[in-house]
Structure 1
């Protein structure tokens, strides 16, 4: 990624990542993104929802965008949609199942690139109703997929991220996490499972990970940066159609019109993540979300939430995550 003070050009093999000189001085415009030719971005869960729109928007910059998806058919549909909208889009997919920890190393290796300029940890599972479900490793499904899967994936992506001059790890949190608190003695909701709360806590765990990752990267002098973002309130009913991935009916559009005063569609929910991946003014350890009450609008930097700034909670979560996954994302750095 480019530095915050000058245009940067980095070469790895035959690829060159370049942001044109002076582009960092212009106001950020979600409709006119800077070029990122030669860079490689991975979007987990890039086949649907906010992840799809992150991938679509990044594809317009000239970057190579890789969709991480559990479902090859859905990934193919997403790539076809992006290619139909963006001439010359460089988009492809890899099979990625974050609930299957044993598969993540080979998934990272299957990227087949020399370096990775940024990854957005976006994929997630949200369960609306009981009963409590588990991954094949016995982890509660939302915590195991949303947090532990991305935690472990980061470990296996580290060689590719380290090969980039200034890579970024961007973690997609949730506004729902703002009102949640982690129970470090019951991270997987084994004692008291409530789907909505467990989802919010799994996203909060992701956000703690993103903040703590940046602390640990700084401690070893890494040029990599970790940034945390959230999409605000992002509704399907306010999201433009991308058939067959998402189809919005006229009725849904009309019924959702009042909500547009407070929240937005998933295309706009993608904006903080896209800015965190592309904007040279964004720094590690920051939190970015929508401008208007943290729920809608163009992306802006937010003050780190008070509970998210608790380094002791983040450190304990990190140690527990290492024990549960058997890996430490920064163990081989420094």
Structure 2
């Protein structure tokens, strides 16, 4: 695999949005596409899956709970009667299971994967995966890192596949400590979560640099949902329910924040819009918190390609995965 340069590479092409306005309520048809959405059974992932299903795409819900994914599939079909939705058992905290999970897809190609699934803990104590990794870092970052490796042959078989990594505003105030990626020395749940999302975003950008250096046709894009709140989210019982009281209490927040259905918009656009380019960061247009999706400047800490390269090397070691990009 060609080594990454220590200097930032330019994005795959111009960072300008598509020439015609993007309508989040009138998406282009995508009947010929197959998309895997990790964590597609709840939250933002559910709405990514529902919106993609409405385009005619075949959507695979990756979930560690097949029963919850089946429930989400039923709800999607209630809102999109002709939806082509499948369920795939996917446990990102179990690295040894990921290769067989990919084999179970039964597809010859994959047009996109949306790395959305994540664990967020609010309270100590620190927890670990069965592989001995800090739970949030191990699931949110290492699991998606290894999954992408096993998906790469399917992605490379598609004409212009996308790897879409869903980051978080929580990452914006964090920095990675290469000597404490697992938060053994400094464990604070909210900070550990932010670092795990920052690691994901670093991975998404570093992946694109390596794909381009290898001449691959696969592109990697990073997105974030802005401020997405449950009370501002349309009900989708039993996947998501909200009370009238909670909605009314959250109404003032709608001036600056949005629901999870809108938080899905950047990821959906990154999958569908041919004007989106690898190496870009997409988020909501109003202060990065709400509104239609648009490209935005790469956050300062994400421009550190040395940190990204060190994270990549550490991730290969921690997962035991030999991740080589190749021409696709």
TM-score (norm 2): 0.94
The answer to whether residue 300 in structure 2 is matched with residue 309 in structure 1 is: no
1:278-308 CA distance string (max 9 Å, x none): 0011000000000011011110100001110
Q: What is the match of residue 173 of structure 1?
A: 167
Tell me the CA shift for residue 192 of structure 1: 1.1
- The separation in 2 between residues aligned to 1:315 and 1:274, in whole angstroms, is 28
Tell me the CA shift for residue 241 of structure 1: 0.3
Tell me the CA shift for residue 73 of structure 1: 1.0
Q: What is the match of residue 321 of structure 1?
A: 315
The answer to whether residue 262 in structure 2 is matched with residue 268 in structure 1 is: yes
1:112-132 CA distance string (max 9 Å, x none): 111000000000000000000
**Which of 205, 209, 213 is the matching residue for 1:211?**
205
SS in 1 for 2:316: helix
Q: What is the match of residue 8 of structure 1?
A: none
Report which stretch shifted further, 321-330 or 102-111: 321-330
Question: Unpaired runs of 5+ in structure 1?
Answer: 5-23
Tell me the CA shift for residue 269 of structure 1: 0.4
Q: Provide the aligned length of Structure 1 versus Structure 2.
A: 313
SS in 2 for 1:179: coil
SS in 1 for 2:171: helix
The answer to whether residue 156 in structure 2 is matched with residue 162 in structure 1 is: yes
Which structure carries more relative contact order (alpha carbon 8 Å, separation 6+)?
A: 2
- The separation in 1 between residues aligned to 2:201 and 2:149, in whole angstroms, is 17
SS in 2 for 1:206: helix
Question: Unpaired runs of 5+ in structure 2?
Answer: 1-12
Q: What is the match of residue 17 of structure 1?
A: none
Q: What is the match of residue 29 of structure 2?
A: 35
The answer to whether residue 283 in structure 2 is matched with residue 286 in structure 1 is: no
Over the aligned positions, Cα root-mean-square deviation in angstroms equals: 1.3
SS in 2 for 1:226: strand
Tell me the CA shift for residue 72 of structure 1: 1.0
Q: What is the match of residue 182 of structure 2?
A: 188
> Is the contact between residue 152 and residue 328 of structure 1 (CA under 8 Å) also seen in structure 2?
no
Tell me the CA shift for residue 262 of structure 1: 1.2
The answer to whether residue 54 in structure 2 is matched with residue 57 in structure 1 is: no
**Which of 56, 62, 70 is the matching residue for 2:64?**
70
- The separation in 1 between residues aligned to 2:44 and 2:288, in whole angstroms, is 16
- The separation in 2 between residues aligned to 1:241 and 1:200, in whole angstroms, is 27
SS in 2 for 1:231: coil
TM-score (norm 1): 0.92
- The separation in 2 between residues aligned to 1:175 and 1:138, in whole angstroms, is 27
The answer to whether residue 136 in structure 2 is matched with residue 142 in structure 1 is: yes
Q: List, as ranges, runs of 4+ consecutive aligned residues in structure 1 with deviation greater than 4 Å.
A: 331-334
Q: What is the match of residue 105 of structure 1?
A: 99
- The separation in 2 between residues aligned to 1:105 and 1:287, in whole angstroms, is 28
SS in 1 for 2:137: helix
1:227-278 CA distance string (max 9 Å, x none): 0000001111111100001111100110000111111110000000000000
